[in-house]
Amino acid sequence: MRSRKLCSILVAAILMTGVCWMLGIGHAADSATIVNKDSLKRARKTVRMLDDVHKTAVVLITTHYVNDDDDLAAGTAAKALFGAMKEKGWYETKILDVTGEPYEETNVAKSDFEKKAAKEIKSGKVYYDEVTEEEGKQYLLAATSIPVVLKKCIMCHPNYEDVKKGAAIGMLTYKLELD
């Protein structure tokens, strides 16, 4: 029964994110000069897919494999995955705090995009993106909300004990090249 409720919360969060993407809520990139709109559409779809995979994996790892303080935290496993994907040249993903009380100091928004996205996510948006250009290449920068979905998360993050279920505690940021 409990796992059904957790799955329902996760599915609701994923569906809410998808609806916002379909309606264009949270897109800043549309106002930028974009070389190829189809490329932007593909990149946004890829972010949606990656976001679903990453968040589902974290919830499944936490639900089934994190039982005490000595277990590998799902966030640590996710960061290892993100590092491997960046090293292979696929994309970049970061876990960043939006509460003002980061688990690690490295989880703080630093770039202009990250700071703006953190404000947007903290204000209640589930998705925000922009297009940027670096060395003649365009990239989609996207951020998605990380809501509180499991009570078990407090084992590693006791500072979230008073956070309302569903409220954003962090965000995942993505950087994908527009092809």
Task: Tell me which amino acid residue 134 is.
Answer: E
Token code pair at residue 82: 């993100």
And the tokens for 73? Answer: 């935290």
Q: How far, in Å, CA of 158 to CA of 148, rounded? A: 12
pTM to 2 decimal places: 0.77
For each of the domains in the chain, give its residue range(s) and CATH number, in order of start: 2-177 (3.30.450)
User: pLDDT by residue for the chain (179 residues), tens digit each?
Assistant: 444 444 444 444 454 454 444 444 455 554 456 668 899 999 999 999 999 999 999 888 888 888 877 887 888 889 999 999 999 999 999 999 998 888 788 889 999 999 999 999 999 999 999 999 999 999 999 999 998 777 666 666 666 677 777 788 899 999 999 98
